[in-house]
Amino acid sequence: MDFNHYFTNEELSKLLKDWEAKYHDLIQVSTIGKSHEGQPIWLLTLTNQATGPDLEKPAVWIDANIHATEITGTTSAIYIAYHLLTGYGKDEQITRQLDQSVYYIVPRVNPDGAAWAMGPNPRYVRSGVRPYPWEEKDEGLFTQDINEDGKILQMRIEDPNGDWKISSLDPRLMEKRAPNENGGTYYRLLPEGMLEDFDGYLIKVARPLEGLDFNRNFPFEWRTEGEQHGAGPYPTSEPEIRALVDSVIKHSNINLAITFHTFSRVILRPYSTKADDDMNTDDLWVFKKIGELGSKITGYRCVSTFHDFKYHPKEVTTGAFDDWMYDHQGVFTYTIELWDLPTEAGIKDRKWIEWWRDHPHEEDLQILKWVEEHASPEAYMEWKPFTHPQLGQIELGGWNNMFTWRNPPLSYVESEVKRHYPFMLSLGEMLPHLSINNLEVKKIGDDKFHLNLVVENTGFLPTFTSQQGKTRQSSRPVRVELVLPEGASLTSGKHREELGHMEGRSNKLDLGANSADSPTDNRARKEWVIQAGVGTKILLKILSERAGSITREVELI
């Protein structure tokens, strides 16, 4: 399969149907719901069906492309699914993981937005294609491909009061006019587009008609339009997000989650809204430990959104998927921002968001040179005169953002996404996992049997996933049920017993030798005395939401 590729909705649907036919034991293709425009939102359930249903196994959740133009995420999700499917039966780790656990993959949360972004006359929206918050257009400039070349570039208009000038380093580039500069030729830079209600003088860039941001529509600390743009009229108001939230809630076996976005080459972790000091410390340590591993594997740094990825130093974002998953569900969740053009072009130690505000102009040239050598000739367009129906003589040119800044040039897609697959396999190794350590039947008298059961969690994460999960009671303690046939009865113990929660190794990260209060806190033990005839068969069910379930038949002999 070629992964230097961006999948259209049609290609995606066809591929998933093919996979379902070819790998029917390993993949179930279903939908979590439909988009605003009625397109299916696919969910892949990857597990070996022969070893038990998905809900009885611990799971990793992966989704992508919630933001319309961030289509690299879809290729990343498909890359992961493909390698899991084709590796089963050949690779020990993949085989074991798909036998014991589940990967849920939603490769494209936002098919409507992706279709707009990938169309022959592309339209770029943040998320949804539904007009929001108003049905009618605001006045001002709307981004649009006005010369029908299939690209949305920039417009430059000569103006003595412009804040830009032609670059002193390379005439193709634009450079900011310095505070003390006067008497030259200056320009205003605007996105390519048309104006609504233009009076001939005043230009403001209008708020986009399709102003939704799906990653503000989750229930965690959701805020109104007056406080945060694009979050929708109420939490989960948008069908895509409602479907996603419902699906996560139905899959109470999820412990770890990844959502693929672009760009910046960074692994973001909660919170977006508060400092690390205000988080549960144990969970923070686990977040950091998994993040460190992610950094080692992918080369991406792992940071808190609050501390290192705020769009404005004094403003936070709320209603995001990762915060909701962690805060409400107790699931360790990371947002991976794929690809970074400046880093690829050799600009080191960039401060993501601050860089956009200001950086040395030499770096713009460095990026342009990289693009010239490695990307399509259409990645940066030279300035060409154009007669704008409203603005008159202008020039069109500059960055074709879609396959430079927002997504990698086509020949760089695979190298960008492939580094995340081993990180996903690592997450699969960390899931909590129940196993029977000891199950002993001892005949202690006529028709009397003693049953000893020791259950253990063999995973890294505990059966409650995180301290936050425990606080929120997002999973129940582990239970055990004995199903006895007619004629058999319990002399000691109950039919339903609570084993309680079991730790994994995530509470033993401290390098101190006795880091855990109880080294065997991953185990639980119960005993019963059963009155039954020799040869009676009883059923033992060990039940857990997050760590999988076990059913075992026991013969009393």
Q: Which residues bind Zn ion (CB under 5 A)?
A: 67, 70, 261
- 387 - beta bridge partners? 393
Nearest approach in angstroms of CB 261 to Zn ion is 3
Which of 220, 380 has the CB closer to Zn ion?
Answer: 220
Burial of 353 (0-12, 13-18, 19+ CB in 10 A): middle
- Taking the complex as a whole, the smallest distance from the CB of residue 260 to Zn ion amounts, in Å, to 9
What are residue 494's DSSP bridge partners?
none
Question: Nearest approach, Cβ of 262 to Zn ion (angstroms)?
Answer: 7
Peptide bond into 104 cis (omega under 30): no
CB of 69 to Zn ion, least distance (A): 9
Tell me whether residue 216 or residue 433 sits nearer to Zn ion (CB atom).
Answer: 216
- With respect to Zn ion, which residue has the nearer C-beta, 70 or 327? 70
Shortest distance, position 257 Cβ to Zn ion, whole Å:
15
Least CB distance to Zn ion at residue 70 (A): 5
- What does the alpha-carbon distance between residue 400 and residue 378 come to, in Å, rounded to a whole number? 7
Compare residues 262 and 329 and give the one whose CB is closer to Zn ion.
Answer: 262
DSSP one-letter code for 218 = S
Can you tell me the distance from the alpha carbon of 544 to that of 475, in angstroms, rounded to the nearest whole number? Answer: 8
DSSP class of 234: S
User: Which residue minimizes CB distance to Zn ion?
Assistant: 261
Give the shortest CB-364-to-Zn ion separation in angstroms. Answer: 23
Q: Which contiguous run of DSSP H or E holds residue 193? A: strand 193-196
The structure tokens 């959701």 sit at: 222
Q: What burial letters (b/e) apply to 278-298, b meaning 16+ CB within 10 Å? A: ebbeebbebbeebbebbbebb
At 368, the amino acid letter reads: L
Alpha carbons 326 and 469: distance in angstroms, whole number: 8
CB-nearer residue toward Zn ion: 261 or 501 = 261
Q: Which DSSP letter does residue 14 get?
A: H
- Least CB distance from residue 254 to Zn ion, whole Å? 21
Four-residue CA torsion sign, 501, 504, 506, 509? positive
CB-wise, 56 or 416, nearer to Zn ion? 416
Residue 203, helix vs strand vs coil: coil
Q: How many CB atoms lie within 10 A of CB 165?
A: 16
**Residue among 294 and 397 whose Cβ is closer to Zn ion:** 294
- Read off the tokens for 428: 């699969």
Comparing CB distances to Zn ion, the nearer of 130 and 406 is: 406
